[in-house]
Amino acid sequence: MVKEPKHCSFCGIEASAAVPMIAGTEGYICEACVMLASQVVSSWGKKKELADMQGPLPKPAEMKAMLDQYVIGQDLAKEILSVAVYNHYKRLKNVSRKAGGLGESDDSVEIGKSNILMIGPSGTGKTLLASTLAKIVGVPFAVADATTLTQAGYVGDDVENILVRLLDVADGQISRAEWGMVYIDEVDKIARSPEQAFGTRDVSGEGVQQALLRLVEGSQVKVSAKGRRKDHSGNDSVMIDTSNILFIAGGAFPGLEKHVEKRLLPPKTAIGFHAEVSNPDDKPTLEAMLNATQPDDLKRFGLIPEFIGRFPVLAPLEPLDVDALIQVLTEPKNALVKQYQHLFAFDEVELEFTQEALAEIAEKAIARNTGARGLRGIMEHVLRRTMFDLPSRPDVERCIVNAEVIRGEAEVEVVPREKSGEAEDLKRLSGGE
């Protein structure tokens, strides 16, 4: 009786000295199929983690509607960001879905990622937009300050520390961190200094831009995992693939409009009686110049071409006017007026702002040139004395803030609780008679 040769139950290859088999109760499996099965099982685990991390991806219009609940204005920037974030995570979801089977995908097109660069004055909502987007999509989010970064080997933060923070936010799960979002703030501060002498190292400017290139473009980066579980080899460092991490950079870029204006309106060189007289009214607004920003303007500002090329999506943010700041104070879910009204409500006191007071607060913030970021400081200064006295005064029912209070010409109007109580008693007595 001839013994039937052993065959792999999965791929059918015949056993030999070069192809050993692992025997089961009713079949065999070769080494290649074991390795392939291991990859499939690990991809299942990764897909399960990602499915737990994310629900259905909101459409761009839905993302913008959610952003409208937290950020006032900036419709153009919201539209640009919503499309970029949707395309990025739509790509990742489709790639991970195709990676779940045994066969290779027949799709030969590889879609690259498009990082985002936000340009706008301080206090216009750059950080809030990025953090709200991460909350909407449901991915880990980390904020890094470019001013603290230096080249490797110098005192300061290395660029790899950005990924350490992202890994911390993802609770040490590498697969979650590799789908995360990173916001790098104050990018304009690492621009190349024009008066930097040649031959010296610009360790906190151009050197940081060079160090960020590898991180941003997508590569395997080794980061420290101190305090976390070591890998199988006993190392306390892990490898993170940054090719699927969405990087959003932002900065105020003061003076960028001058470079845009030179490109849009070349200086007139004619002199004498025949020279054209320049009209200040013809000068474009700051908003128009930021919207017209081109990569060449960023290069003149001091960013290196390689760094600009890693951020193909430009999202300009417009300066906030008085009306927009009043909306910031009152309309968003986390509006400052609502926050302080809740704080006063804990002491059973109503807080009321007149429309003129809100306009005065907005004008003060514009005068300070701090945008929406300066609103809280103004309100803290105005309400500080009242918040100091209120816990000791249970007789107060309502506080009214008007424009004179904001200008410092009057105190916050306090309505005692007894007045309303006495009026109710009189009304009840007169009704009873």
Show binding-site residues for Zn(2+): 8, 11, 30, 33
Cβ-Cβ contacts under 8 Å for 39 (sequence gap 6 or more): none
Backbone angles phi, psi at 390, to 5 degrees: -55, -50
Structure tokens given for 17: 């000295």
Cβ-Cβ contacts under 8 Å for 48 (sequence gap 6 or more): none
Residue pair 31/39 in contact by the 8 Å Cβ criterion: no
The 413-416 sheet, strands edge to edge: 350-353, 396-401, 413-416
User: CA-CA distances (angstroms) from residue 307 to 68, 148, 149, 215, 289?
Assistant: 30, 18, 15, 11, 21
* Separation CA 19–CA 7 (nearest Å): 10
Q: What is the DSSP string of 403-432?
A: HHHHHTSSPPEEEEHHHHHHHHHHHHHHHH
CA count, 13 A, side-chain hemisphere, 285: 8
The Cβ of residue 272 has, within 10 Å, a number of other Cβ atoms equal to 5
Residue pair 409/362 in contact by the 8 Å Cβ criterion: no
Where is the binding site for ATP, in residues? Answer: 121-128
User: CA-CA distances (angstroms) from residue 341 to 100, 322, 352, 390?
Assistant: 51, 21, 8, 13
Q: Is 391 exposed, middle or buried (0-12, 13-18, 19+ CB in 10 A)?
A: exposed
Backbone angles phi, psi at 204, to 5 degrees: -110, 5
Where is the binding site, in residues? Answer: 8, 11, 30, 33, 121-128
